Chain A
Amino acid sequence: MAKNIIEKIWDQHIVYEEQGKPDLLYIDLHLLHEVTSPQAFEGLRLANRTVRRPDLCFATMDHNVPTRNRDAIKDPIARKQINTLQSNCDEFGVELANMDHPDQGIVHIIGPELGLTQPGKTIVCGDSHTSTHGAFGAIAFGIGTSEVEHVLSTQTLWQTKPKTMEIRVNGKLGFGVTAKDIILAIIAKFGIDMGTGHIAEYTGEAIRNLTMEERMTICNMSIEAGAKAGLISPDETTIAYLKGRKHVPEGDAFDKAAATWLALASDEGATYDTVVEIDADEIEPFVTWGTNPAMGSGITSHVPYAKDFESESDKEALKQALAYMGLEEGAPLTSIDIQHVFIGSCTNARLSDLRAAAKVIEGKKVHSSVTAIVVPGSRTVKKQAEEEGLDAIFLEAGFEWRESGCSMCLAMNDDVVPTGERCASTSNRNFEGRQGAGARTHLMSPAMAAASAIAGHFVDVRELQATKA
Chain B
Amino acid sequence: MEPINKVVSVVTPLDRKNVDTDQIISKEFLKRIERTGFGKYVFYHWRFHEDGSEVKDFVLNDERFKGSKILVAHENFGCGSSREHAPWSILDYGFNVVIAPSFADIFHNNCMKNGLLPIKLTVSEVEELLANGQQQPYSVEVNLEKQTVTGQDGKTYSFDIDPYYKQMLLNGWDEISLTFQYEEHIAKYEERVKQSV
Residues of A within 8 A of B (CB): 15-16, 20-22, 24, 26, 35-36, 38-39, 42, 47, 49, 63-64, 75, 77-78, 80-81, 84, 126-128, 141-147, 149-150, 153-156, 158, 160, 162, 192-193, 196-197, 223, 226, 228, 292, 313, 316-317, 320, 410-412, 419, 429, 431-434, 437-438
Could you name 20 residue pairs across A and B whose Cβ atoms are closer than 8 Å?
A: A22-B164, A26-B190, A35-B31, A126-B82, A144-B110, A146-B175, A154-B186, A155-B190, A158-B175, A158-B179, A196-B76, A196-B104, A196-B105, A223-B80, A226-B104, A410-B22, A419-B50, A429-B81, A431-B20, A432-B22
Given A39-B35, A77-B31, A193-B104; 12 other pairs, CB 8 A cutoff: A39-B34, A63-B30, A142-B106, A144-B83, A144-B109, A144-B110, A146-B175, A160-B162, A316-B15, A429-B22, A433-B45, A437-B50
Query: Given A154-B186, A192-B76, A317-B18, A437 and B31 touching (CB < 8 A)?
Result: no
**A76 nearest CB across to chain B (Å):** 9
**B107 nearest CB across to chain A (Å):** 8
Residues of B within 8 A of A (CB): 15-18, 20, 22-23, 26-28, 30-35, 45, 50, 74-76, 79-84, 87, 102, 104-106, 109-110, 113-114, 162-164, 175-176, 179-180, 182, 185-186, 189-190, 193
With a cutoff of 8 Å between Cβ atoms, the chain B residues found around residue A434 in the complex are: 22, 27
Establish whether residues B179 and A24, one from each chain, have CB atoms under 8 Å apart when the complex forms. Answer: yes
How far does the alpha carbon of A118 sit from the alpha carbon of B74 in the complex, in Å? Answer: 38
Establish whether residues A411 and B27, one from each chain, have CB atoms under 8 Å apart when the complex forms. Answer: yes
Establish whether residues B80 and A24, one from each chain, have CB atoms under 8 Å apart when the complex forms. Answer: no
How far does the alpha carbon of A249 sit from the alpha carbon of B175 in the complex, in Å? Answer: 35
How far does the alpha carbon of A120 sit from the alpha carbon of B180 in the complex, in Å? Answer: 26
Which 9 pairs of residues, A with B, have the shortest CB-CB distance? A146-B113, A144-B84, A38-B33, A144-B110, A142-B82, A145-B84, A128-B82, A193-B76, A431-B22
Query: Given A144-B109, A192-B18, A128 and B182 touching (CB < 8 A)?
Result: no
**A251 nearest CB across to chain B (Å):** 15
Partner of A47, one of B22, B76, B176: B176
With a cutoff of 8 Å between Cβ atoms, the chain A residues found around residue B84 in the complex are: 36, 39, 126, 144-146
How far does the alpha carbon of A226 sit from the alpha carbon of B189 in the complex, in Å? Answer: 31
Establish whether residues A196 and B102, one from each chain, have CB atoms under 8 Å apart when the complex forms. Answer: yes
**A189 nearest CB across to chain B (Å):** 16
**A124 nearest CB across to chain B (Å):** 10
**A194 nearest CB across to chain B (Å):** 10
With a cutoff of 8 Å between Cβ atoms, the chain B residues found around residue A431 in the complex are: 20, 22-23, 80
Chain B CB within 10 Å — which of A22, A160, A313, A320 has the most?
A313
Establish whether residues B179 and A193, one from each chain, have CB atoms under 8 Å apart when the complex forms. Answer: no
**B91 nearest CB across to chain A (Å):** 12
With a cutoff of 8 Å between Cβ atoms, the chain A residues found around residue B74 in the complex are: 313
Establish whether residues A143 and B18, one from each chain, have CB atoms under 8 Å apart when the complex forms. Answer: no
**B103 nearest CB across to chain A (Å):** 8
Query: Given A36-B83, A149-B176, A144 and B22 touching (CB < 8 A)?
Result: no
Query: Given A26-B189, A154-B176, A317-B17, A147 and B113 touching (CB < 8 A)?
Result: yes
How far does the alpha carbon of A143 sit from the alpha carbon of B108 in the complex, in Å? Answer: 11
How far does the alpha carbon of A432 sit from the alpha carbon of B27 in the complex, in Å? Answer: 11
Establish whether residues A226 and B45, one from each chain, have CB atoms under 8 Å apart when the complex forms. Answer: no
Establish whether residues A193 and B102, one from each chain, have CB atoms under 8 Å apart when the complex forms. Answer: yes
With a cutoff of 8 Å between Cβ atoms, the chain B residues found around residue A156 in the complex are: 179, 182, 186
**A197 nearest CB across to chain B (Å):** 6
With a cutoff of 8 Å between Cβ atoms, the chain B residues found around residue A316 in the complex are: 15
